[in-house]
């Protein structure tokens, strides 16, 4: 097993990465001093695969467990689903000493974390991410939330977990499309922070796609290290943490404008990264060859790079302007000046943004 720490003073926590460790989670929770009732939140896809193993581990450690199973899919990341969690916990008479365990991908982690942050003014929660995207991104850093019809993650909190427990074996049952979508966030880390990681992804395409354990554990660990470093420096996105949003301004607008039904989150981020890299080229801050490397790597992993030609552009730009990262109505873009580094840009002319979007529609 490998451990990466998120250093946040008294709220620091470990990210444990290993193989076949789901059955050890109960013992690990008792080592953390947890002896309360557990609310195990999962979905109809993940729970049949791993729910019984986790529940047995909790029971063997003497922890009682209430199971809360939600429908699968981004369209269920809503306040209504959060209320289902609240209802189930109240019916089970779980109190403020209880602990919520999120078993699933990013949607379950965000929902369970959000519910934990407001239930009885906040209870502890544990992340057990089962998708690549959740393992390298959404489970780390304490962002929680639900979607609103007008925008993604418009309602949310910062609430750090006590533990992130990553069993890489869960990737063996992950649908191929979901796995590839998770690679997008790893490519993002290479572009914003670590050129060597980007280079590694270029040379290891087939090994990563074949789920070779060495490269897989390396890219998960390195991604967690980068995310942990950024979060430790800027927990609440007052400055540096904003760089993690590269690809997300256009990506989130794409998800919203297509009703969360056409693109997985990682796929939308991949399209967003290509479009935002093109915007950086139009601004003259990155060369065409670097943009081409981004597009080639995205394509090498089978990720989309183009905005659909039939998208409702009015709805798309309306969704973008509602982006929660906007400041005083001005969109904020994270743009690369080279592979391995990005800078924050505000007040970019809308005409230039439209040119970048139109280029992405014909890519």
Q: What's the rounded mean pLDDT across residues 246-274? A: 95
Residue 220 confidence (pLDDT) above 70? yes
The CATH classification of domain 2-173, taken from the options 1.10.645.10, 3.40.50.2300, 3.40.50.460, 3.40.50.1970: 3.40.50.1970
Q: What CATH number matches the domain at 176-361, 1.20.1090.10, 3.30.300.30, 2.40.50.140, 1.10.3720.10?
A: 1.20.1090.10
SS3 state at 284? coil
Q: Check if 2-173 and 176-361 are the same fold.
A: no
316, two tokens: 């798309």
pLDDT of res. 333:
96
For residue 94, pLDDT beyond 80: yes
Alpha-carbon span 330 to 297, nearest angstrom: 30
Q: If you average pLDDT over residues 6-17, what whole number do you get?
A: 98
- Is residue 156 within 8 Å of 324, Cβ to Cβ? no
Burial zone of 239 (CB within 10 Å; 0-12 exposed, 13-18 middle, 19+ buried):
exposed
Residues serving a catalytic function are 121, 143, 185, 227, 237, 241, 245, 248, 252, 265
Which residues, including other chains, have CB under 8 Å from residue 292's CB and lie 6 or more apart?
A: none
Q: Binning pLDDT at 50, 70 and 90, where does residue 331 land?
A: confident
> What per-residue confidence (pLDDT) applies to 109?
98
101, pLDDT greater than 70: yes
Specify the pLDDT at position 336: 98
User: How many other CB atoms are found less than 10 A from the CB of residue 222?
Assistant: 20
- In this predicted structure, what is the pLDDT of residue 150? 84
Show me where the domains of the chain are located: 2-173, 176-361
Give bridge partners of residue 346 from the DSSP assignment: 332
Find the mean pLDDT for residues 335-363: 92
Predicted pLDDT of residue 328: 64
Which sign does the torsion angle of CA 25, 30, 34, 36 carry? positive
pLDDT of 225 reads 99
pLDDT at 316 over 90: yes
Taking CA atoms, 3 is separated from 13, 162, 171, 197, 221, in Å, by 10, 14, 19, 19, 8
* Average pLDDT of the residues of the chain: 95
Digit-coded pLDDT (tens) for 139-180? 999 999 999 988 888 899 999 999 999 999 999 999 999 999
The pLDDT assigned to 363 comes to: 67
Model confidence band, residue 324 (pLDDT cutoffs 50, 70, 90): low
């Amino acid at each position: 097993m490998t451990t990466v720490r998120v250093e946040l003073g008294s709220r620091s926590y470990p990210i444990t990465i290993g193989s076949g460790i789901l059955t050890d989670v109960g013992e690990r929770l008792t080592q953390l001093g947890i002896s309360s009732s557990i609310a195990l939140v999962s979905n109809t896809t993940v729970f049949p695969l791993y729910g019984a193993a986790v529940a047995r581990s909790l029971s063997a450690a003497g922890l009682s467990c209430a199971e809360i199973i939600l429908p699968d899919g981004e369209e269920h990341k809503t306040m209504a689903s959060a209320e289902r969690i609240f209802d189930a916990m109240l019916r089970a008479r779980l109190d403020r000493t209880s602990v919520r365990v999120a078993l699933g991908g990013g949607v379950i982690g965000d929902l369970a974390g959000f519910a934990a942050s407001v239930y009885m003014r906040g209870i502890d929660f544990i992340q057990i991410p089962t998708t690549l995207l959740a393992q390298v991104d959404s489970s780390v850093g304490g962002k929680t939330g639900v979607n609103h019809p007008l925008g993604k993650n418009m309602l949310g909190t910062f609430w750090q977990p006590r533990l992130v427990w990553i069993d890489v074996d869960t990737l063996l049952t992950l649908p191929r499309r979901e796995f590839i979508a998770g690679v997008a966030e790893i490519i993002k880390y290479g572009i914003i922070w670590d050129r060597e990681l980007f280079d590694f992804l270029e040379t290891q395409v087939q090994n990563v796609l074949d789920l070779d354990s060495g490269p897989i554990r390396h890219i998960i660990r390195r991604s967690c290290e980068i995310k942990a470093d950024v979060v430790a420096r800027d927990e609440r996105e007052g400055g540096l943490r904003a760089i993690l949003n590269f690809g997300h301004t256009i990506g989130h607008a794409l998800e919203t404008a297509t009703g969360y039904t056409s693109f997985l989150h990682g796929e939308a981020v991949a399209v967003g990264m290509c479009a935002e890299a093109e915007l950086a080229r139009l601004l003259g801050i990155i060369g065409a060859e670097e943009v081409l490397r981004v597009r080639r790597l995205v394509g090498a992993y089978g990720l989309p790079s183009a905005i659909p030609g039939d998208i409702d552009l009015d709805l798309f730009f309306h969704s973008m302007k509602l982006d929660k990262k906007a400041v005083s109505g001005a969109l904020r873009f994270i743009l690369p000046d080279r592979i391995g580094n990005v800078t924050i840009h505000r007040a970019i002319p809308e005409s230039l943004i439209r040119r970048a979007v139109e280029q992405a529609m014909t890519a």
